[in-house]
Amino acid sequence: MRSHASVMHLDLDAFFAAVEQRDKPSLRGKPVIVGGVGLRGVVSTASYEARRFGVGSAMAMSEARRRCPHAAFLAGRFDAYRAASRIVMGLLRELSPLVEPLSLDEAFVDLAAGPERSLAEPDLLALAAGLRARLTEETGGLTASVGLGSSKFIAKVASELAKPDGVRLVAPGTEVATIAPLPARAIPGVGPATMDRLARLGVRTVADLQGLSEAELVRELGRSGGEHLHRLAFADDDRAIEPERETKSISVEDTFERDLSDPGVLAGIADRQATQVAQRLGRAGLFARTVTVKVRWPDFSSVTRSRTLDGATDRVEVVAQVARTLLDGLETSQGVRLLGVGVSGLVEVAQEPLFDLETTGSGRVVEEAEAPLTRRPSGWLPGADVWHRRHGAGWVWGSGLGRVTVRFETAESGPGPVRTFAVDDPELSPAADRDADDGGGGTDPHGE
């Protein structure tokens, strides 16, 4: 354990939804839900306004619509999210050479490895406050929650306690008392299956875990799981912060001579690809936090679905089961031209040895769609940026019955008017097409 709270965990607040609200003034202060918009889509991120209605990440989009029917349901704009993420990660790297990104919106920072600075509590809190203020300014209004602690586990707990838009420092020496009242699920790797076993021992909170001996936990969970859980219950976490590795991902893809639609055949191919991916992980001595499935349709449009696990794994059966679950959530009756399975978020240790097959349904799900090479009506995804020769920049409000409705506004313009066009209106085009025609020098609808 460190003697100073020099590990920082930063988590952008409701990131995807916040970017959409930033760039779409008419949605500010209103429920926004980002995710897959198909029949089997899942929620990637819900704004805090939508969370009040019980909408959360990894929820079926159909359930989100039932709970919050008046929300704006958007397909997501990953170019905008990546641009904002680059700004944030750049700010973190100014603080320290040791930055460990976990996703676009989350990272650990080793403040002890940066420029010489005071690690006294008031100075660390001032550093965090300055970072958050600068982040909000440079990203056009996004906010972040920041946790400071003596380990990665404690820093992440602190950022959760700071949500939303706050800072929390857990002083060295207070870690055990701080985590004691939290639910046992707050410990990495304690999912539903593990909680079922712990419940037999009367465990509900971390304090309950602290009251058990290591021998009792080993007897219930096995040696590695029991020892791991006992250590974390007493805030014993010495994991180092690992900068982004040269190897960022491992994947296997197959393009088929004829389109495949049989779910059983596709599941078998996904199993084989998952096995190859896991074998490559094993040979590299790596573990993965995120499993991804990519599907390309006959019209060359594609969708990528990924699940970030609660831990890191190299187990064939885990990668395969998550891949099958992600694939099962997609409608493949139209045929599949390409199928791929990949992993990312690579680390050198299995961060959560308690990871159990029964818990693979947990974790954040992200769905990213790519439009077909030739635009068609279904390519007008809700929330996508568009450009009209007379009206300028806007975004897709909705489409159907041969029409597309657009709200014309930008991050700087204030709420704008809504107009409807035919889907083949020659004056209307995806903003990306205009940017390409301009050589990347067109007006940036995100204000970035």
The residues assigned a catalytic role are 106
Question: Strands across the sheet with 364-370, in order?
Answer: 249-260, 336-347, 287-296, 302-313, 364-370
3-state secondary structure of 19: helix
Radius of gyration of the chain (CA): 23
Q: What's the one-letter identity of residue 404?
A: V
417-436 core/surface letters (b: 16 or more CB in 10 A; e: else):
eebebebeeeebebbbebbe
d(CA 370, CA 269): 22
d(CA 87, CA 309): 25
CA trace torsion 73, 79, 85, 91 (10° rounding): -140
172, 2 Cβ separation under 8 angstroms: yes
237, 246 Cβ separation under 8 angstroms: no
Phi, psi of 286 (to 5 degrees): -120, 160
260, 326 Cβ separation under 8 angstroms: no
Phi, psi of 290 (to 5 degrees): -130, 135
Token digits for 394? 């806007």
d(CA 98, CA 108): 8
